[in-house]
Each structure stands twice: as C-alpha cells, then as structure tokens.
Chains A and B, each alone.
Chain A
C-alpha cells in the first residue's frame, strides 16, 4: 500500500461525496418551490441507502473476485472484510483496497441520485427508494464490475472509461429515460409553466459539483501521479469550454445568454470529459468540453419534440454528454498522456479503441434502459410509482414529507 496514493483517494472520496448535496441544490433550485425538499430528499436518501447496501454486499459484487465471464464479483468481500493486499485485478502497491472501495461508493451514490432529476414533482418517495435499491443490484453493480473492475468483461475488451462515462453518465441518463417513460409526464407538462424557483440555488449546486468533480476525475487515477494531474486540468478545461459553448449556442439561436445555461454547460463539459480525463491532452479537453456544451444545449430541447418528461434533463445532459465523451475518447485518447491507455483514431490508434467504446456505449444503454424499464414497471404494478393528482398539485414536499421549504411564519400550535 502506498500512503500518498491512499491519502489522495480518501480525499477524493470526500470530494465526490460532496457532489451529491451539490446535485441536490442544483436540482432543488430548478424545480418549483413546492417540490424542492422532495427532490433534495431523493439525493440525501441515496447517500443513506446506497452506502448501507454498498458496505454490506455491493462493493463485493462490483469489485470482488470474478464469478466467471467478467459478469459480477462474488460475495467474498461482503461487509468490506477480507480485502487482502489489493483488489482482484488491481496492481499491488497503490492506494489501499479499502480506500478504493470507499471512493467507488461515492460514485454509486451520485449515480442513483442523478435519476431523481428526471422523476421530480411526481414520484412517490417509497417508490424512489425501492427503485434505487433494485436498480443498484440489477444495473449499477454489474456495470461497475464490467467497466471499473479489471476483471470485468468490458475492461477485458479494451474499453477505456476513466471515471464513469458509461457507469455513471450514460447509465444515469438512460435509466432515467426508462423511469420517466413508465412514470408519465407531470400534470400540465409541457403547456404549464414549470420554471425554476431559485436559479441561485442551482448555481451554488453547480459550483459544488465542479469542485467535487476534481475528486471524481483526478481521483480516478487512484494514484497521485501525472495522470491524476492531467485529469485535473482536463476537468477544468472541459467545464470552462462547456460553459462558454452553451452560452455561444444560446446567443447563436437568438436567445439570451442565461445563468442556468452557463451552469448547465459547465456540467455538460464535465460529463463529457469524465470518460476522457486522464487519457486526453488539455487541448483535446477544451474541444470535447466545448462540443458538449453545444450538443447538450441542443439535446435538452429534444424532450419537447418527443414529449418525454425528463424534468431536469438527465438524459439530455448526462446521457447525451456521456455518449459524446465515450466517442470523443475513441478519437482523442493519447498513449503519451497515459501509458495504461491506448491511442484513439486521431492519434494513429486506428479503429480498435473506437470499436470498444461503441460496444461499451451500446451495452450500457441496453442494460440501463432495459433493466430499469422492467424495474420501474414492476414497481408501478405493485406499490405504484406515482403520487395521486391531488398530492402532485399540492406538491411533494407536503404530501411526501410533511414539510415546506419556505414558510412565511404562522405555523400554528404544536399538537401535543
């Protein structure tokens, strides 16, 4: 075990955990004031539920010794015990196994939390909890094993994904699409105005996401080395270019340069650079981020054409941005930046990497959408996914949690 690497991974784990409350603010600001606590609660609930499942068995299924075929880990690391000197498939002597599993826990949390961005204003709280439990076992843990564990079958195939373009971004985007198709649109959408109730809250949330994303990407080197630093600057470059790209798109389409657009562009840039960070040059990161800002600004308009109500654009930003990032990695990956990686198409690596990336994208979309659709349908047919029309009208804060985010006082008396 290397103490410096372990320190870096543990610090990065804290940074990545902090992204989830940041996401809660980002999402909370974008919904109407009657639903802000409910969507934030979904994020916080993910921190609770996913952590428990991860410690008990989840970490083992994702990173334990392979059961066969690179499909799933076994249960031998249950309870985060019997970790040994290094995780199966990982090199010896780097960050401690416990630090890596702790770091990876934070990825599972935020991926589950991301789904809540599509289901706002209408999902029952117990249904959301059941959803993320079933989804964790059927979608997240297998996918994390396939891509993040060196023993996983996609990793074996030569797929590169530095920090979760597939496992986190494409997965959350297409899982969300599946859930919202079963859940249905918000009552009144798209005709009725459902404007964000507090853009400043969202901007603060994006600031926290940006800060935490350094841990997310640079921490994914799992080592305090030049690859980590390279991922760090790639993250900053892509976020900045995404921010500017989205604003340019808004200006070019005769709209106003909006603050929410700037913030969304930064997120889009960081989503796209997530698989690429640590494999690409800073200049490539600028290009990828800028492109993501423009492509995602276009993608969030799709829902109005196709009439699926992905409330806060999890598909448009994370799904589309993640696919874009994986394809860009097939183009821009550089062996000179990371000797553990390979060269993309533009660096003379031929089509091999691009083929692997396309395979990973297709597999991730298939698993995330297919399995999540079945899970959502099963929940809808049993406990029901959706609140009653009356509860939806009154807002989820009151109907699901008996709270209001903002009160003008006059609370009456305490009833015993």
Chain B
C-alpha cells in the first residue's frame, strides 16, 4: 500500500477533491499547513512598518491507496492542483507497511 502526500494551494482543494472522488477515491485527510519552497512569502504593513511573512498557507492532503492505484492518484492530484505558477506545491508517495481500520480491526487492503 501507498501513502500519497500532497502539499497544495488552499484554493485548489475543491478541485482536487472532485478529481479524486471522480476516480472513486472516497477517503482523504486534510491538514492546514504553512510552508515555503521557491514561492516567497508576503509582506504585511502595520502603521508603516513592513513585516516579511515567510510561511505561506498550504493544505497538506493525505490519501491511502493500493499499490497499483498510486500513479493514477498522483496524476489526478497534479492535474487538478496545477495552476502553472510558482507555489503549486509537491506530491510524494511513501510505502505503507500496514493499515488497520479501527472500527472493525480489518487489516491491509481490506482496511482501505
């Protein structure tokens, strides 16, 4: 099994969710995150004093999937989250050793 993690622009969340649901993925976890990569932060002004804010608000999205579906999901995320401008985010895939559904105790693929 794989864990697909994506850090994306907050305003693309709905598009990504729709793209995943259209492919039959009906579980995901969202976290509000802050970070920066090549995209610079922004400037805030209070009484003439300028403050550089380095960290930009992002959404961290996590999806668990069977091995053979990971590529499809990654493609769906990349296509739906892309704006082509700097700061679109990243997606990475990790190997997952085991998954357990808490309600039933099911393990492995059955727990997805």
For A274-308 the 0/1 string (1 means CB < 8 A from B) is 00000000000000000000000100110010000
* Chain B residues within an 8 Å CB radius of A260: 46-47
Q: A255-B48, A256-B45 are in contact. List 6 more A-B contacts (CB 8 A).
A: A193-B51, A250-B48, A255-B45, A258-B45, A297-B47, A300-B48
Q: Let me know if B47 and A313 touch, CB within 8 A.
A: yes
Q: Let me know if B52 and A193 touch, CB within 8 A.
A: yes
Q: Let me know if A301 and B48 touch, CB within 8 A.
A: yes
Q: Let me know if A297 and B48 touch, CB within 8 A.
A: yes
Q: Does B44 contact A (CB under 8 A)?
A: yes
For the complex, what is the distance from the CA of A149 to the CA of B47, rounded to whole Å?
Answer: 37
10 residue pairs A–B, Cβ–Cβ below 8 Å: A190-B49, A193-B51, A195-B51, A199-B46, A255-B48, A258-B47, A260-B47, A297-B48, A301-B48, A313-B47
For the complex, what is the distance from the CA of A256 to the CA of B42, rounded to whole Å?
Answer: 13
For the complex, what is the distance from the CA of A53 to the CA of B62, rounded to whole Å?
Answer: 62
* Chain B residues within an 8 Å CB radius of A334: none
Q: Which of B31-71 contact A (CB under 8 A)?
A: 44-49, 51-53
* Chain A residues within an 8 Å CB radius of B51: 193, 195
Q: Which of A186-227 contact B (CB under 8 A)?
A: 190, 193, 195-196, 199
Q: What residues of chain A have their CB less than 8 Å away from a CB belonging to chain B? A: 30, 190, 193, 195-196, 199, 250, 253, 255-256, 258, 260-261, 264, 297, 300-301, 304, 313
For B2-43 the 0/1 string (1 means CB < 8 A from A) is 000000000000000000000000000000000000000000
The interface centre, meaning the residue of A190, A193, A255 with most chain B CB atoms within 10 A of its CB, is: A193
Q: What residues of chain B have their CB less than 8 Å away from a CB belonging to chain A? A: 44-49, 51-53
* Chain B residues within an 8 Å CB radius of A250: 48
| Contact of B47 (CB < 8 Å), options: A193, A253, A264 | A264
For the complex, what is the distance from the CA of A301 to the CA of B50, rounded to whole Å?
Answer: 11
Chain A: CB-nearest residue to B48: A301
B36 nearest CB across to chain A (Å): 15
Chain B: CB-nearest residue to A261: B47
For the complex, what is the distance from the CA of A300 to the CA of B52, rounded to whole Å?
Answer: 19
For the complex, what is the distance from the CA of A301 to the CA of B49, rounded to whole Å?
Answer: 8
Chain B: CB-nearest residue to A255: B45
B46 nearest CB across to chain A (Å): 6
* Chain B residues within an 8 Å CB radius of A313: 47
For the complex, what is the distance from the CA of A253 to the CA of B51, rounded to whole Å?
Answer: 16
For the complex, what is the distance from the CA of A190 to the CA of B48, rounded to whole Å?
Answer: 13
* Chain A residues within an 8 Å CB radius of B53: 193
Chain B: CB-nearest residue to A253: B48
For the complex, what is the distance from the CA of A199 to the CA of B47, rounded to whole Å?
Answer: 12
A193 nearest CB across to chain B (Å): 5
For the complex, what is the distance from the CA of A193 to the CA of B47, rounded to whole Å?
Answer: 13
B108 nearest CB across to chain A (Å): 34
For the complex, what is the distance from the CA of A241 to the CA of B112, rounded to whole Å?
Answer: 63
Chain B: CB-nearest residue to A263: B47
Q: Let me know if B46 and A258 touch, CB within 8 A.
A: yes
* Chain A residues within an 8 Å CB radius of B52: 193
For the complex, what is the distance from the CA of A260 to the CA of B48, rounded to whole Å?
Answer: 10
For the complex, what is the distance from the CA of A301 to the CA of B53, rounded to whole Å?
Answer: 20
Q: Let me know if A195 and B44 touch, CB within 8 A.
A: yes
B75 nearest CB across to chain A (Å): 37
- When A and B form their complex, which 7 residue pairs have the shortest distance between CB atoms, in order from nearest? A193-B51, A195-B51, A301-B48, A300-B47, A260-B46, A196-B46, A255-B45
Chain A: CB-nearest residue to B53: A193
For the complex, what is the distance from the CA of A196 to the CA of B48, rounded to whole Å?
Answer: 13
For the complex, what is the distance from the CA of A304 to the CA of B49, rounded to whole Å?
Answer: 9
Chain B: CB-nearest residue to A303: B49
For the complex, what is the distance from the CA of A195 to the CA of B52, rounded to whole Å?
Answer: 10
* Chain B residues within an 8 Å CB radius of A261: 47
* Chain A residues within an 8 Å CB radius of B47: 258, 260-261, 264, 297, 300, 313
* Chain A residues within an 8 Å CB radius of B45: 255-256, 258
The interface centre, meaning the residue of B44, B46, B48, B49 with most chain A CB atoms within 10 A of its CB, is: B48
For the complex, what is the distance from the CA of A190 to the CA of B47, rounded to whole Å?
Answer: 14
The interface centre, meaning the residue of B44, B47, B51, B52 with most chain A CB atoms within 10 A of its CB, is: B47
* Chain A residues within an 8 Å CB radius of B48: 250, 253, 255, 297, 300-301
* Chain B residues within an 8 Å CB radius of A256: 45
* Chain B residues within an 8 Å CB radius of A255: 45, 48
B34 nearest CB across to chain A (Å): 14
* Chain B residues within an 8 Å CB radius of A196: 46
B45 nearest CB across to chain A (Å): 6
